[in-house]
Structure 1
Amino acid sequence: MLPVELYRGEDALRRDREAVLRRSWQFVGHVQMLAGAGDYIADVVGGAPVVVVRKTDGELSAFHNVCRHRAGALVADGQGNCGEAFTCRYHGWRYALDGRLRSAVDFGKAAGFDPRQYGLFPIRVETWRGLVFVNLDLAAEPLSDLVAPLAARWPEDQSALPLVEKRTHQIACNWKTYVENYLEGYHIERVHPEFDSDVVVAEYRTEVVGEVVFAAAPPRDASVYGGVWGWLWPNLGVNVYRHGYMMERMTALGPSMTRLDYFYFYKPERKAELVDMLKFSDLVTAQDLQVCEEVQRNLEVGVYQGGVLSPKHEVGVAWFQDRIAERLGLPTPPKLTAVA
């Protein structure tokens, strides 16, 4: 198990953001949200404000959402359209959509000031099946490497499905506490008893392929699930249904606070089915929130100093903890070995 100290405190959050979240591909939305020139998505990745924009040539570019003058924000968090240029909300400096400084408004003449040296700080942006990802690490491996295992298990390209619902929840726990809950089905029988009506919980299994953790359980005849549950390192869940899919982003807001953003892409003609599924999803989320908050409370008391992981049910959790340790420069956590 990872040291308990990694699940609490500002220092643990800082290390996660610097070593993990800012050096990984992070989902921020869909190209549907960036339909026209000047359309942008502004979000926070690993504590760093970022913005993705559609340029006039139709391509996407992405930057830190920070003006080069005195660190003002270019745009407010959320979605919008900035026209042909970003205009800093603080002092009005204007930037082309490719990041070049167009105008330091009424700055005055200054010896040695070269506007060409004050373009926006770039970040990586790539798309896969309409899904938009950013990475603050300019030397990161391509997004295609990360999603390759998911593409193999999910051959149907559903990028044309509309975004029909977006829901957000906050949970009082460390982001890793929630991720680890997501990566195992050991708790389902007790925490989510209703789940067995959709899938055969007794046959729930997890498998790690590349940097994707897959979960699978045979669906019941009336189930809406399409048989693919995936999780992409380090904080993105993917649920594939028979008539759509959902992306679940897990964002660290603080040492003991996480935001869950659910993006539902679904066939409009199956609206009634979606309504029922959303009710079930809300129930499952509420159940997970309760147990994760209870776990976090106990992690912060100081009595619990580590346990053991099941080699049968918690393979994904063990892999996740190994990757966290690797990124933080820590020894690989000890674990039990399965026996026949």
Structure 2
Amino acid sequence: MRNLDPVNYVSPAIHSEDVQRIFSATWQLIGPASRLATRGDYIAVEIAGQKIFVMHTRDGLRAFRNVCRHRGARLLPEGTGRCNTIRCPYHQWVWGEDGSLLNVPFWGDDAEFELSDWALDQIEWRVWRGLLFVAIAPETAFDDQLGDIIAELEGEPIEDYTWVHEERLVFDANWKIYTDNFVEGYHIPGIHPAFHRAIEFEAFETTALDGMVRMTAPPRDGLFYRGKWMWMWPNWTLSLFNGGMNTSRINPVDHQRTELIYNFYFADTSDAAAEARAQTIEGNLQVIREDFEVCLETQKNYASGGYRAGPLSPRHEQGVAYFQERLRASRA
């Protein structure tokens, strides 16, 4: 099998198709539901440029487009916060926590204007094992998209881990270039020499399953990872380490920039373990950052026209083949 044609990574038109056919149509990992523990707590994020927020209301969680119904302004800044009502900073329209429009100041006489016509646009959400997901216009049932990850993590106590830290990283490459890189271990000897020394690379295995790619390798002494890394369609990951895990969402900023949102969770959140947690987080981030240069330079070569699609390794790149087949199917 051959790699995707480079136009798929550099075309603004194809990126626009990805936003509509993939990111709007699938369930997207937002992060730990525990960050919405109290009424009024909210998380506001972008999903491939589309703004949404999730809020803890009197009736439980609700999710909305983060878009004013009047003139399209952003209602809440990206990140976490707390509020009881949603006030647009542009013209001061006010919505309640249920999304209903409550007040329109300085509007003037308008017999045809009805507050009830201008509620916020709601979107769907799910919580699975402590992780919060949303979908703007889902085309697949939630459990169907999760696929084999449900059984894969059945014996792992992931909902018992406590969220500790979020890290955001942005680099200049298409989200698919980074995903191609994540779902194979072929690059580990060249790009991650310290990581390579810390695993039994000859026993590294990549397996494409339903909705996910699983990568495993026996760890040597001293490696913080437990030797299992997972990617789930279309753009989230979960990696296990001793006493915890990380998750990530691979989020396109545009057709040539990508944002990674990493969250770290631990079983031991005591003060005594703070230094060990910090070392684990930094060790994870060091491995992640090592991928950025090769992704950036690959992006340049794809954009230059100097690259023609090459072959994929049947041993090490079946994850790449699976991901790319899913991409082709999303455009069918």
* 1:146 to 1:273, Cα distance in 2 relative to 1, 3 A: farther
Q: Tell me which of 263, 267, 280 is aligned to 2:283.
A: 280
Aligned to 2:76: 75
- Once residues 223 and 283 of structure 1 are traced to their aligned partners in structure 2, the CA distance between those partners, rounded to angstroms, is 13
Deviates more, 1:60-69 or 1:7-16: 7-16
CA deviation map 1:39-66 (0-9, x unaligned): 1111111211101100113x11101111
Return the alpha-carbon distance in structure 2 between the equivalents of residues 299 and 167 of structure 1: 28
Conservation of the 8 A alpha-carbon contact between 1:251 and 1:258: yes
Amino acid aligned to 1:16: D
Q: Which 4+ residue blocks in structure 1 deviate beyond 4 angstroms?
A: none
CA distance in 2 between counterparts of 1:2 and 1:65 reads: 34
Provide the rounded CA distance (Å) in 1 between the counterparts of 2:222 and 2:76.
45
Q: Give the Å deviation of 1:307.
A: 1.0
For residue 291 of structure 1, what is the aligned residue in structure 2?
294
Cα distance change on mapping 1:272 and 1:201 into 2, 3 Å: farther
Give the Å deviation of 1:286.
2.6
- Structure 1 residues 288-331: Cα deviation after superposition (integer angstroms, max 9, x where no partner): 111111111111110112111111111111111111111123xx
Q: Residue in 1 aligned with 2:37?
A: 35
CA change 1:258–1:320 in 2 (3 A) is same
Instruction: Name the CA distance, whole Å, in 2 between partners of 1:99 and 1:304.
Output: 49
Aligned match of 1:44: 46
2:243 aligned residue: 243
State the match for 1:308 in structure 2: 311
Distance of 2:94 and 2:206 partners within structure 1: 49
**Residue type matched to 2:41 in 1?**
D
Bigger drift between 26-35 and 312-321 goes to 26-35
Contact between 2:124 and 2:136, CA under 8 Å: does it hold in 1? yes
TM-score by length of 1: 0.91
Superposition deviation, residue 139 in structure 1: 4.8
Structure 1 unmatched runs, 5+: 330-340
Say whether the 8 Å CA contact 2:26–2:138 is kept in structure 1: no
Whether the 8 Å CA contact 2:25–2:139 is kept in 1: the answer is no
The one of 7, 10, 14 aligned to 2:9: 7
Cα deviation, residue 72, structure 1: 1.8
Matched, 1:126 2:129: no
SS at match of 1:107: coil
Structure 2: runs of 5 or more not aligned = none
Taking a change above 3 Å as real, the CA distance of residues 138 and 179 of structure 1, as seen in their structure-2 partners, is closer
Counterpart in 1 of 2:269? 268
**Aligned-partner SS, 2:245:** strand
Identity over aligned pairs, percent:
32
Find the counterpart in structure 2 of residue 116 from structure 1. Answer: 116
Query: For the aligned residues, what is the CA RMSD?
Result: 1.7
Aligned length: 326
Which SS does the other structure have where 1:23 is aligned?
A: coil
In structure 1, the residue matched to 2:146 is 147
Aligned equivalents of 2:279, 2:43: Cα separation in 1: 30
- Determine the structure 1 residue equivalent to 2:229: 229
Secondary structure (helix, strand or coil) at the match of 2:223 reads coil
Letter in 2 for 1:161: Y
Higher relative contact order (CA 8 A, sep 6+): 2
Measure the CA separation in 2 of the matches of 1:204 and 1:94: 55
Classify the secondary structure of the residue corresponding to 2:148. helix
CA displacement 1:216-269 (0-9 Å, x = unmatched): 111224433234311111111110112000012211112211111211111224
Per-residue displacement from partner, 1:62-115 (whole Å, max 9, x unpaired)? Answer: 0111111111221111111122x2111111222121212222233233122222
CA shift, 1:148, in A, is: 4.7
Q: Secondary structure at the match of 2:122?
A: coil
The residue identity in structure 2 corresponding to 1:307 is G
Matches within 5 A, 1:93-242: 93-142=93-142, 144-154=143-153, 155-242=155-242
Structure 2 counterpart of 1:86:
86
2:252·2:258 contact (CA, 8 Å) conserved in 1? yes
